[in-house]
With several copies, the nearest count.
Chain A
């Protein structure tokens, strides 16, 4: 294998390694902050959480509506 090819493979290995490591660290960071912030908002009354679900359903409707529009666009 030529030196150039071997350098390319080195680049690929270190590149993919870094990309995965980076995004995994990002996952860890996201999950950590999600957990920490959840902790803090856990004291909210359950009625608030329910309301949240209702919003969730609205959200779903919106997503579907967007989807339909996109489909029509294409």
Chain B
């Protein structure tokens, strides 16, 4: 072995152009996370995971069989195909048709031949494949959320429902792109794309891991990026759809909510979801569990760990796992472009729906709501509520809408989890 051999074996000489592009995408995500503070808790590990995933040669996000094929050593492929009793040419057909059990056996064989699962592949399976990580994040979110503003003015829940129209309109949008042959989407893929409009990271990851894991990377990146961009996306729509008179509406001060109401709420939400839409029960159930741990005041140890150590640990793995889905061959596709496009449409339609339904409510009820808080119904907690507050202050410097906007804002989390449940129920 001479030194030239060593140098020529460096990873850089086997990098593909798509991998190089994805390294830059990963760096861009790090830049957005660190310099622009775009949802850094997620985008930093996602960007880092994207870089790790696209490091040449090593296939950190690949399963054993995928690594075997990626490394493409004739000898090893022959060993595998002879073990399976196949011709080499038949392998890719066989793999496409393979059942879960067969795949698991093929992976075992590949391990025998010397291909271990990539570490990010392991992280993905444990954290997202199992569904555990988004659920634990939801538990932590529940333990951090004060449902008080929502309980004080429950009719703002309507706004959290309305904004979910962004989700379903986007599904239709994706199907139209497919219909006109622009970008092809299956119904499952369209649904998973639509959920970006839920403006809720764990929900988007949970749904896409079930309906369209191949798009999970793009969907999660779009969801978190647009959530960070809410202060840019929403205000123009808010201004376009409201009159000056509406924007200065001052809302009735929120009543005090008793601790008992706060304890009963997660329990009744759990029962309603359990009895109406069981497919939404994992997501909303964990949200309720976290919130009940917080509000019950009898398990402070558990509440504390759920909203600190546990959610932080899970966030690291969730981010890296999402990053593992940013492999060049899966991310650099027309679908990703479509998802990025549709995602911003979803946010816009959701924002508009929330505002318009708020205006409709004002027509029907004498207790006026400021339609700006309707925009907070998309969720993107707490960013969208802050945006509503900020825009409100621009027109009436005494009008603090923050607490009022928190109601639809949190309702939007519930609303998109319900939408997710509907999708899982009918499509999974």
- A joins B in a complex: yes
Is B160 a contact partner of A22 (Cβ separation < 8 A)?
no
How far is A63 from B10 in the complex, measured between Cα atoms in Å? 40
How far is A70 from B405 in the complex, measured between Cα atoms in Å? 14
Residue of A nearest to B172 (CB): A8
Is A19 a contact partner of B389 (Cβ separation < 8 A)?
no
Is B164 a contact partner of A19 (Cβ separation < 8 A)?
yes
B175 interfacial by beta-carbon distance below 8 Å:
yes
* A70 to B: closest C-beta gap in Å: 6
Is A4 a contact partner of B179 (Cβ separation < 8 A)?
yes
Is A8 a contact partner of B171 (Cβ separation < 8 A)?
yes
Task: Find A34's partner among B169, B175, B261 (CB 8 Å cutoff).
Answer: B261
Q: Interface-forming stretch among B241-249, B326-334, B416-424?
A: B416-424
B253 interfacial by beta-carbon distance below 8 Å:
yes
B161 interfacial by beta-carbon distance below 8 Å:
yes
Residues of A contacting B: mostly: helix
Task: Find B256's partner among A4, A19, A27, A55 (CB 8 Å cutoff).
Answer: A55
Which residues of chain B are near A13, meaning CB under 8 Å? 1, 3
Is B393 a contact partner of A41 (Cβ separation < 8 A)?
no
B277 interfacial by beta-carbon distance below 8 Å:
yes
B264 interfacial by beta-carbon distance below 8 Å:
yes
List which A40-69 residues lie within 8 A (CB) of chain B. 41, 52, 55-56, 59-60, 63-64, 66-67
Is A18 a contact partner of B261 (Cβ separation < 8 A)?
no
Give 1 or 0 for each of B156-185: 1 = CB within 8 Å of chain A CB.
Answer: 011011001101110110011011000000
Given contacts A27-B154, A60-B253, contact A8 B175 (CB under 8 A): yes
B190 interfacial by beta-carbon distance below 8 Å:
yes
Is B154 a contact partner of A64 (Cβ separation < 8 A)?
no
How far is A37 from B277 in the complex, measured between Cα atoms in Å? 27
Give 1 or 0 for each of A1-45: 1 = CB within 8 Å of chain B CB.
Answer: 010110111111111111111111111011101100100010000
Is B175 a contact partner of A15 (Cβ separation < 8 A)?
no
How far is A18 from B260 in the complex, measured between Cα atoms in Å? 28
Residues of B contacting A: mostly: helix
How far is A23 from B164 in the complex, measured between Cα atoms in Å? 12
Which residues of chain B are near A5, meaning CB under 8 Å? 172, 175-176, 179
Is A52 a contact partner of B167 (Cβ separation < 8 A)?
no
Give 1 or 0 for each of B175-203: 1 = CB within 8 Å of chain A CB.
Answer: 11011000000010011000000000000
Which residues of chain B are near A56, meaning CB under 8 Å? 253, 256
Which residues of chain A are near B157, meaning CB under 8 Å? 23-24, 26-27, 30
Given contacts A4-B187, A8-B171, A63-B403, contact A19 B419 (CB under 8 A): yes
B129 interfacial by beta-carbon distance below 8 Å:
no
Given contacts A5-B179, A23-B415, A67-B400, contact A41 B164 (CB under 8 A): no
Task: Find A66's partner among B165, B269, B402 (CB 8 Å cutoff).
Answer: B402
Task: Find B258's partner among A16, A20, A37 (CB 8 Å cutoff).
Answer: A37
* B5 to A: closest C-beta gap in Å: 8
Is B256 a contact partner of A16 (Cβ separation < 8 A)?
no
How far is A33 from B257 in the complex, measured between Cα atoms in Å? 11
Residue of B nearest to A40 (CB): B260
Given contacts A4-B187, A30-B265, A33-B261, contact A15 B164 (CB under 8 A): yes
How far is A19 from B191 in the complex, measured between Cα atoms in Å? 15
Is A19 a contact partner of B276 (Cβ separation < 8 A)?
no
Is B414 a contact partner of A23 (Cβ separation < 8 A)?
yes
Is A33 a contact partner of B264 (Cβ separation < 8 A)?
yes
Is A41 a contact partner of B258 (Cβ separation < 8 A)?
yes
B411 interfacial by beta-carbon distance below 8 Å:
yes
Is A18 a contact partner of B426 (Cβ separation < 8 A)?
no
B294 interfacial by beta-carbon distance below 8 Å:
no
Is B6 a contact partner of A23 (Cβ separation < 8 A)?
no
Is B264 a contact partner of A12 (Cβ separation < 8 A)?
no
Can you sample 19 A-B contacts with CB below 8 Å? Answer: A2-B175, A4-B187, A10-B1, A11-B426, A12-B169, A13-B3, A17-B6, A23-B158, A24-B161, A30-B151, A30-B157, A30-B261, A34-B261, A59-B256, A63-B400, A67-B402, A71-B393, A74-B231, A74-B386
Kindly list 11 other residue pairs between chains A and B, CB separation below 8 angstroms, not including A8-B172, A23-B411: A4-B179, A7-B187, A11-B171, A12-B172, A16-B165, A22-B273, A26-B269, A27-B157, A30-B265, A70-B389, A74-B386
